[in-house]
């Protein structure tokens, strides 16, 4: 099997409250898939379970068709090439920008390589180079999102899990972020993105899942999903 | 004026010890999110380990004692983390407090059984001479204690700010989930953190034992509460904050002893605590939102 | 069997039960106070001063002590009103210690030399009566709407507040009633021990009470009772082990915390069955009937937050 990640019948509960039930999805290397859903639909729950931060009640997660991710702890999962851009950025706000990036490369034993990658990030994001010794908490929302994405890229992941990257950002910044997402995907990194901003997300993705109260109700090519009436009504303001 | 300077100096000496013990608490609290009640007793174990080592190998004096102190305290701390703290991770912080309290009781009374409940003489690792630094008179021991503690604090600061593991430690303190998701083995770093905190306390304990010339199985009680207060007053956001507060409380206590009365000395720390917490419930330098 | 030899143990145990129940009531609103010993000390000193220095009879002195405890409890509740969880516990700790230090320095009540010369007024019947009162108060409070409102504040202050329950009021009430019971216990204990020392107000003694509660479990009022009985009687029973006594005590604490972190007595999530180590002590009563009864009555006015601009 050439697929990168396969999730089968995932069920996750918080205590006795089910959050996600019977969710199955796959992603091939280099693909960009998006999970659409409203607040509370269970999107972040899925991401956290993939990262090993939550334990599911049932289901399977396999990487490369063989590695059972449920047996692994979060830091081990990361070392297999999965990186995270968390909801709300979740930078280490008391650390400097450059320290945040260095931590992104914590798992890489070759520190010189990490330094080179950080330098490359600063090339791509000159604004961050200006602010590299600034405390991360003092940056603007858009800049923090850049740091969060850069931090995830430092480990040269194969799969990027992005949780609502456009949340809380100004419209121009949102466009920049989605442009960045497309750029990263073109570099060959698979992206599984969770979003509420359906319009922009469907433009960059090749496949979309629709998540409603913990279950996947629609799954298909991004443009087809975009044309469906249910999606239009809920997410796209009712017209194509 | 001379009284002021003298008490200032005395305060710095005692405060530096508070700082070292408080940093140990603070590391456990911010990184592992537990109140390690047994930390002062790990300090005490270090003190006696140094004592035992000096009895065995009197030739090498202070150095051997400090190494033994670090080793003894480190072992106890490491075992504590594996057996009591790690299994209780995620539960109410009060549970770990009680669990470590149980261990503290065992350590105190166990040691009292071995050496007796009364204070024991500590070997004279450094001479008793006085040194005059301007208007201030300090003993060699006081100066050494201050230097040792300052060195330990400096090392901690260097570790936490300048090394990869130190960065990871701060990352765990602020956002443990995100740290784990970026390849940080949280369990391993927690072990290392407790080990370092314990070793540090062990070295400081030997220094204190040498300073006062005595060791007691119950010495932890005195330093424990003060160090705990330092941690609370400082807040857990900046480790250096705890260091500064430790010195400050030492100075305040010394000034109170010098100008008011020595029986109010222990109260001073508490009043500082209530005062600070009332106006800044997250401590002087703030805390992480945890 | 020489029963008289057991009297001290029994009286201590009973009084610890009384004070543990006081802490339990305070904890119902969600905050474990670490000033219990200090409030007990306030009660002890108050009643001692009244009987020894002012010649009051025993019973009114105890009542006055209880009132003093209620006042101090309310004060503590007000000081910690805006604080959250952990900082609150610490402030109660500091409060207790500050009271201890004041006792140290207050020569009128003996200062560091303790308050001596208290008359022996306590008998086993006094202790039993106090325990009965404490149990009754705890039981009635627990089962009343006040108890329900307290638990609502404990479990979800935001939701409780949104339903009109005043967090300030509930904290004050639980601290006051709890403080009264604790002070009563302290007063009676003072008249048995005949000496009150500032050390008794310290943080370690307060921690003891917290351990009673955590041991026995916070979910039912029998938990603190059980915890107090077990942990007061246990060191006595271990007397035969002599110098290993405290070490064993410490080990037992560690073991219980590791093996049964929820306390020894638990309540099942639904219904009111009380269990110990998996065995059911008291079977569940069906919940449905009580629920309809409770929802029919409106919340009393004094529980509602003031409608001022907030």
Count of A-B CB contacts under 8 Å: 71
- The DSSP 8-state label assigned to residue B123 in this structure reads P
Taking CA atoms, B104 is separated from B114, B224, C66, C245, in Å, by: 15, 11, 34, 14
Extents of the domains making up chain C: 3-303
- The DSSP 8-state label assigned to residue A91 in this structure reads -
Enumerate residues 6+ apart whose C-beta is below 8 A from C141: C25, C28, C147, C177
What's the mean pLDDT when you consider all of chain C? 78
Is B1's pLDDT higher than 80?
no
Domains held by chain B: number: 1
Residue with tokens 């009128």: C108
Residue C32 to residue B94, Cβ atoms within 8 A: yes
Measured from the Cβ of residue C251, the count of other Cβ atoms closer than 10 Å reads 16
Tell me the CA end-to-end span of chain C in Å, nearest whole number: 65
Q: Which two tokens stand for residue B182?
A: 């970026």
Residue with tokens 């039981």: C139
Predicted pLDDT of residue C179 = 93
Q: Are strands A207-212 and A32-37 parallel, antiparallel or unpaired?
A: parallel
The arithmetic mean of pLDDT across residues A33-41, rounded, is 85
Predicted pLDDT of residue C271 = 47
Residue A63 has φ and ψ, to the nearest 5°, of -105, 135
Taking CA atoms, B92 is separated from B31, B34, B79, C293, in Å, by: 15, 9, 21, 34
Touching subunits for chain C (3+ Cβ pairs under 8 A)? B
The arithmetic mean of pLDDT across residues B158-164, rounded, is 90
Residue A126 maps to a domain: no
| Minimal CA separation from B110 to chain C, in Å | 6
| Position B239 confidence tier, pLDDT thresholds 50, 70, 90 | confident
Q: What is the largest CA-CA distance in chain B?
A: 56
Nearest CA in chain B to A157: B182
Interface membership of B222 toward C (CB under 8 Å): no
Nearest CA in chain C to B89: C258
The pLDDT tens digits for C15-53 are 999 999 999 998 888 778 888 999 999 998 888 888 888
Predicted pLDDT of residue B261 = 75
Contact C142, C27 (CB under 8 A): no
Taking CA atoms, A26 is separated from A73, A82, A84, A85, C85, in Å, by: 21, 15, 17, 19, 43
Phi-psi region of C277 (alpha: psi -120 to 50; beta: other; left: phi over 0): left
Cα gap C308→C169, rounded to integer Å: 15
Q: Above pLDDT 70, what percent of chain B?
A: 99
Enumerate residues 6+ apart whose C-beta is below 8 A from B102: C250, C251, C252, C253, C254, C257
pTM, two decimal places: 0.81
Predicted pLDDT of residue B290 = 44
Is C121's pLDDT higher than 80?
no
- B190 against C104, higher pLDDT: B190
Residue A88 maps to a domain: no
Q: Which two tokens stand for residue B28?
A: 């456990």
Is C287's pLDDT higher than 70?
no
Predicted pLDDT of residue C21 = 92
Residue A45 maps to a domain: yes
Residue B182 to residue A78, Cβ atoms within 8 A: yes
> What is chain C written as a DSSP string?
--HHHHHHHHHHHHHHHHHHHHHHHHHHTT---S-HHHHHHHHHHHHHIIIIIS---HHHHHHHHHHHHHHHHHHHHHHTTT--HHHHHHHHHHHHHHHHHHHHH-GGGTGGG-B--------HHHHHHHHHHHHHHHHHHHHSHHHHHHHHHHH-HHHHHHTTB-HHHHHHHHHHHHHHHHHHHHHHHHHHHS-B-GGGGSHHHHHHHHHHHHHH-SSSTHHHHHHHHHHHHHHHHGGGGGGGHHHHHHHHHHHHHHH-TT-SEEE-SSS--EEETTEEEEPPPPSHHHHHHHHHSPPPGGGBPP-S--
Measured from the Cβ of residue C235, the count of other Cβ atoms closer than 10 Å reads 15
The number of helix segments (H) and strand segments (E) in chain B equals 11, 4
Is B217's pLDDT higher than 50?
yes
Q: Above pLDDT 90, what percent of chain A?
A: 55
Strand partners, C165: C304
Of B46, B52, B48, B51, which is closest to residue B69 (Cα–Cα)?
A: B46
Residue of A15, A44, A72, A75 best to disrupt the B interface, most CBs of B under 10 A: A75
- A141 against C118, higher pLDDT: A141
**Residues of C in Cβ contact (< 8 Å) with B109:** 243, 246-247, 250
The arithmetic mean of pLDDT across residues C177-196, rounded, is 89
Cα gap B69→B53, rounded to integer Å: 8
Is B122's pLDDT higher than 80?
yes
Predicted pLDDT of residue C308 = 41
Q: Which two tokens stand for residue B65?
A: 């004692």
Predicted pLDDT of residue C267 = 59
The pLDDT tens digits for B11-28 are 999 999 999 999 998 898
Residue B175 to residue A92, Cβ atoms within 8 A: yes
| Minimal CA separation from B269 to chain C, in Å | 10
- Please classify residue C283 by burial: count the beta carbons closer than 10 Å to its beta carbon, then call 0-12 exposed, 13-18 middle and 19+ buried: exposed
Residue of A14, A50, A92 best to disrupt the B interface, most CBs of B under 10 A: A92
- The DSSP 8-state label assigned to residue A21 in this structure reads E
Cα gap C41→C189, rounded to integer Å: 10
Residue A78 to residue B183, Cβ atoms within 8 A: yes
| Position B141 confidence tier, pLDDT thresholds 50, 70, 90 | confident
- The DSSP 8-state label assigned to residue A129 in this structure reads H
- A147 against C115, higher pLDDT: A147
Residue B88: which domain range? 23-220
Enumerate residues 6+ apart whose C-beta is below 8 A from B84: B96, B99, B100, B103, C254, C257, C258
| Minimal CA separation from A47 to chain B, in Å | 11
Is C268's pLDDT higher than 60?
no
Taking CA atoms, B75 is separated from B104, B190, B197, in Å, by: 15, 15, 11
- The DSSP 8-state label assigned to residue B18 in this structure reads H
Cα gap A105→B94, rounded to integer Å: 35
Residue B174 to residue A155, Cβ atoms within 8 A: no
The pLDDT tens digits for B72-95 are 999 999 999 999 998 888 777 777
Residue B263 to residue C252, Cβ atoms within 8 A: no
| Position C145 confidence tier, pLDDT thresholds 50, 70, 90 | confident
Contact B179, B168 (CB under 8 A): yes
The arithmetic mean of pLDDT across residues A158-178, rounded, is 90
Contact A139, A147 (CB under 8 A): yes
Residue of B86, B90, B181 best to disrupt the A interface, most CBs of A under 10 A: B181
Predicted pLDDT of residue A156 = 92
Of B103, B34, B99, which is closest to residue C86 (Cα–Cα)?
A: B34
Is A162's pLDDT higher than 90?
yes
Enumerate residues 6+ apart whose C-beta is below 8 A from C38: C72, C95, C96, C97, C99, C100, C201, C202, C206
Is B245's pLDDT higher than 70?
yes
Q: Which of B106-110, B178-182, B195-199, C95-99 has the lowest mean pLDDT?
A: C95-99
Cα gap C72→C176, rounded to integer Å: 8
| Position B288 confidence tier, pLDDT thresholds 50, 70, 90 | low
Predicted pLDDT of residue C310 = 35
For chain A, the helix, strand and coil percentages under 3-state DSSP, each to the nearest 5: 40, 25, 35
B266: nearest CB among C95, C101, C252:
C101
Residue A198 maps to a domain: yes
Predicted pLDDT of residue B103 = 93
Enumerate residues 6+ apart whose C-beta is below 8 A from A110: none
Taking CA atoms, C208 is separated from C20, C36, C92, C178, C259, in Å, by: 10, 9, 15, 16, 19
Q: Which range scores top for mean pLDDT: A137-141, B3-7, B55-59? A: A137-141
The pLDDT tens digits for A62-111 are 999 889 999 999 999 999 999 999 998 899 998 999 999 999 999 999 99
The arithmetic mean of pLDDT across residues C178-193, rounded, is 90
- Please classify residue B129 by burial: count the beta carbons closer than 10 Å to its beta carbon, then call 0-12 exposed, 13-18 middle and 19+ buried: exposed
Nearest CA in chain A to B184: A75
Of C24, C46, C13, which is closest to residue C219 (Cα–Cα)?
A: C24
Residue A169 maps to a domain: no
Cα gap B38→C287, rounded to integer Å: 43
Q: Which CATH number fits domain C3-303: 1.20.1530, 1.10.3470, 1.10.40, 1.20.120?
A: 1.10.3470
Is C243's pLDDT higher than 80?
no
The arithmetic mean of pLDDT across residues B240-245, rounded, is 90
Is C295's pLDDT higher than 60?
no
Q: Give CA angle at B256 (B255, B262), nearest 5°.
A: 120
Residue B182 to residue A104, Cβ atoms within 8 A: yes
Q: What is the CATH number of the domain that holds A239?
A: 3.40.50.300
The arithmetic mean of pLDDT across residues A50-58, rounded, is 91
Strand partners, A160: A83, A191
Is C11's pLDDT higher than 60?
yes
Predicted pLDDT of residue C213 = 83
Predicted pLDDT of residue B237 = 80
Q: Above pLDDT 70, what percent of chain C?
A: 75
| Position A239 confidence tier, pLDDT thresholds 50, 70, 90 | very low
What's the mean pLDDT when you consider all of chain A? 88
């Amino acid at each position: 099997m050439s697929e990168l990640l396969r999730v089968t019948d995932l069920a996750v509960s918080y205590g006795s409250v089910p959050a996600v039930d019977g969710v199955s999805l796959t992603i091939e290397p280099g693909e960009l898939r998006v999970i659409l859903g409203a607040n509370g639909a269970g999107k972040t729950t899925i991401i956290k379970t993939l990262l090993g931060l939550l334990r599911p009640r049932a289901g399977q997660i396999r990487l490369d068709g063989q590695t059972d991710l449920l047996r692994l702890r979060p830091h081990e999962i990361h070392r297999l090439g999965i990186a995270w851009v968390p909801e709300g950025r979740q930078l280490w706000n008391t650390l400097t920008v450059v320290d945040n990036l260095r931590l992104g490369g914590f798992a890489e034993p070759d520190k010189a390589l990490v330094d080179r990658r950080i330098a490359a990030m600063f090339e791509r994001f000159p604004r961050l180079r200006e602010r590299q010794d600034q405390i991360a908490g003092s940056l603007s929302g858009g800049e923090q999102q850049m740091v969060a994405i850069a931090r995830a890229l430092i480990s040269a992941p194969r799969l990027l899990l992005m949780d609502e990257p456009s949340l809380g950002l100004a419209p121009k910044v949102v466009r920049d972020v989605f442009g960045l997402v497309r750029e990263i995907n073109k570099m060959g990194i698979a992206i599984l993105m969770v979003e509420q901003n359906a319009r922009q997300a469907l433009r960059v993705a090749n496949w979309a899942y629709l998540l409603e109260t913990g279950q996947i109700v629609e799954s298909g090519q991004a443009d087809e999903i975009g044309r469906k009436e249910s999606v239009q009504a809920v997410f796209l303001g009712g017209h194509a | 004026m001379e009284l002021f300077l003298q008490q200032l100096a005395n305060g710095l000496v005692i405060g530096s010890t508070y700082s070292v013990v408080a940093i140990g608490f603070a590391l456990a609290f911010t990184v592992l999110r537990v109140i390690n009640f047994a930390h002062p007793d790990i300090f005490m174990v270090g003190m006696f380990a140094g004592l035992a080592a000096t009895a065995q190998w009197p030739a090498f004096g202070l150095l051997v004692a400090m190494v033994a102190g670090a080793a003894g305290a480190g072992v106890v701390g490491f075992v504590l983390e594996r057996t009591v703290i790690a299994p209780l991770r995620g539960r109410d912080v009060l549970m770990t407090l009680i669990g470590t309290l149980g261990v503290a009781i065992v350590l105190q009374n166990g040691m009292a059984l071995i050496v007796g409940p009364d204070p024991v003489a500590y070997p004279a690792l450094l001479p008793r001479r006085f040194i005059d630094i301007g208007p201030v008179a300090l003993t060699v021991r006081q100066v050494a204690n201050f230097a040792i503690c300052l060195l330990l604090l400096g090392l901690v600061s260097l570790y936490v700010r300048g090394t990869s593991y130190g960065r990871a430690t701060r990352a765990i303190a602020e956002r443990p989930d995100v740290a784990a998701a970026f390849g940080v083995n949280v369990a391993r770093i927690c072990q290392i953190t407790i080990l370092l905190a314990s070793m540090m306390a062990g070295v400081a304990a030997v220094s204190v034992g040498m300073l006062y010339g005595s060791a007691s199985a119950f010495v932890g009680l005195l330093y424990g509460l003060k160090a705990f207060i330092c941690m609370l007053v400082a807040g857990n956001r900046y480790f250096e904050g705890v260091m500064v507060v430790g010195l400050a409380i030492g100075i305040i206590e010394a000034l109170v002893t010098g100008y008011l009365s020595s029986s109010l000395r222990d109260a001073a720390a508490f009043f500082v605590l209530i005062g600070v917490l009332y106006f800044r419930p997250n401590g002087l330098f703030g805390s992480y939102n945890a | 069997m020489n029963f008289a030899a057991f009297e001290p143990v029994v009286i201590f145990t009973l009084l610890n039960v009384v004070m543990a129940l006081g802490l339990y009531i305070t904890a119902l609103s969600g905050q474990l106070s670490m000033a219990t010993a200090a409030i007990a000390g306030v009660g002890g000193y108050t009643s001692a001063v009244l009987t020894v220095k002012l010649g009051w009879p025993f019973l009114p002195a105890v009542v006055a002590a209880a009132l003093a405890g209620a006042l101090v409890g309310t004060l503590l509740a007000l000081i910690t009103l805006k604080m959250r969880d952990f900082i609150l516990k610490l402030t109660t700790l500091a409060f207790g210690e500050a009271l201890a230090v004041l006792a140290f320095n207050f020569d009128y009540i003996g200062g560091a030399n303790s308050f001596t010369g208290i008359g022996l007024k306590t008998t086993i019947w006094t202790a039993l009566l106090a325990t009965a009162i404490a149990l009754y108060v705890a039981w009635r409070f627990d089962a009343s709407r006040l108890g329900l409102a307290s638990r609502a504040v404990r479990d979800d202050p935001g939701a409780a507040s949104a339903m009109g329950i005043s967090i300030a009021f509930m904290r004050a009430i639980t601290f006051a009633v709890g403080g009264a019971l604790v002070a009563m216990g302290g007063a009676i204990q003072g008249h048995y021990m005949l000496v009150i020392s500032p050390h008794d107000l310290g943080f370690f003694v307060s921690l003891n009470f917290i351990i009673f509660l955590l041991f026995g479990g916070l979910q039912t009022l029998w938990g603190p009772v059980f915890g107090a009985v077990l942990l007061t009687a246990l060191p006595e029973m271990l007397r035969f082990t002599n110098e290993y006594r405290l070490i064993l005590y410490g080990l037992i604490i560690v073991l219980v915390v590791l093996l049964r972190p929820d306390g020894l007595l638990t309540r099942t999530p639904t219904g009111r069955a009380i269990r110990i180590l998996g065995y059911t002590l008291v079977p569940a009563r069906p919940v449905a009937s009580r629920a309809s009864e409770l929802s029919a009555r409106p919340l009393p006015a004094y529980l509602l937050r003031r409608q001022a601009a907030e």
